Amino acid sequence: MKKSQDSNTLFDVESIRKDFPILSRSVNGKPLIYFDNAATSQTPQQVIDVIVDYYSNYNSNIHRGVHTLSQEATDKYEDARQITQKHFNALHSHEIVFTSGTTHSINLVANGFASLLTKSDTVLVSALEHHSNIVPWQMLCEKTKATLKVIPMTQDGALDMDAYDTLLLLNPKLVFVNHISNALGTINPIEEMIQKAHKVGAAILIDGAQACPHIKPDVQALDVDFYVTSGHKMCGPTGVGILYAKESWLHKLPPYQGGGEMISEVTFEETTYAGLPHKFEAGTPNICGGIAFGAAINYMNSIGFDTIASYEHELLEYATRKMNTIEGMKIYGPKENKTSVISFNIKGIHAYDLGTIIDKLGIAIRTGQHCAQPIMDFFGISGTARASFSFYNTKQEIDVFVEGIKRAAMMLH
């Protein structure tokens, strides 16, 4: 067991696994080995209980009612906002906007900048992005006629920082980059990128969907303008996420959607908007999701992010050593400065076929382009198999996984 640096609890993986009901099930007659955590993490009983409690005891719409259930739901929802504010160290709770997830958060910002950019402006996006941090900016540039430039990547799966410096000479208005690549696990130097962007007057948005399960970002220390993530990557439910934005930017951006909750006064002649963060939260939100997201953040903090990162790094190194003994193995991305993701191919075997066969052994991995087609095009491949580990996975599971790959390779060769 390990003692966390940011928690007084001890880390015992076997005890922690008992918190996750799904880890005790079988798939195709074999014990489930879940290595698709970069797509969606699993949910502990402590969070499931919060979801059940909401629908069993105080299911009600929020902010609108004087009755007891509405007040209870409102208090719990706003408590979750404060939990999120504290976790990310936002200066104000109203700098946390609840959304349906990372994609929604990015589109909210992109929509807001549609009225702030012109055809003479340039925006930068990195070559390592998920499609969710590419397509909205392409759509924004189509609307505004602004120019989209790409920060290139290197053969080892990192960003070309010299090229970034050169692109900053264009004085871009906006920069978009993920904290960690979902396809390769690359940890990008966002502190340096944020500082350099600000020196040329650019705002910067960080896609933290892949980072937040492993790292505890401090948005004030980063001095980031926008930071986005999803609950379902952090042991929470799907359909909920957050946009952190500096208060000054939230005042500048127009509302993303119109409707109830985001208004102050409505007449047929004119509508005025509510204060922050409600200006960006039109309609009935995912109330239960927001509350459960707060519970998931509390759960992960009870384990401790230093402990999580340390243990997952052990899993990454162990799996990498084991997998590199397999004939024909090719692992993509950096050897260092990465999180617990291994994107790989085996010579002569299609990733889809490999994933299908090891699923019969109860092993869940992701195959394909991982919504990162430009990365696959860069390497000249159709896709990869991807194993992604979480703090509830074990070295014993990795052993079974490696043997499963060997077995599949024998069948497919």
CA pair distance 310, 393, nearest whole angstrom: 13
Structure tokens at 41: 């993490």
Q: Looking at 141, 235, 288, 371, which residue is catalytic? A: 371
CA pair distance 280, 274, nearest whole angstrom: 9
Measured torsion, CA atoms of residues 367, 317, 88, 136, in degrees rounded to the nearest 10: -30
CA pair distance 149, 260, nearest whole angstrom: 37
371 is catalytic: yes
- Main-chain dihedrals φ then ψ at residue 7, nearest 5 degrees: -155, 150
Helix (H, G, I), strand (E, B) or coil at 93: helix
Give 392's contacts (C-beta < 8 A, 6+ positions apart).
Answer: 13, 16, 17, 19, 20, 23, 42
C-alpha distance from residue 208 to each of 33, 51, 133, 227 (Å): 25, 24, 11, 6
Instruction: Specify the DSSP class assigned to residue 367.
Output: E
Q: Are 210 and 178 in contact (CB under 8 A)?
A: yes
C-alpha distance from residue 262 to each of 63, 74, 225, 247, 411 (Å): 11, 15, 22, 16, 58
- Main-chain dihedrals φ then ψ at residue 36, nearest 5 degrees: -120, 40
Give the active site residues: 371
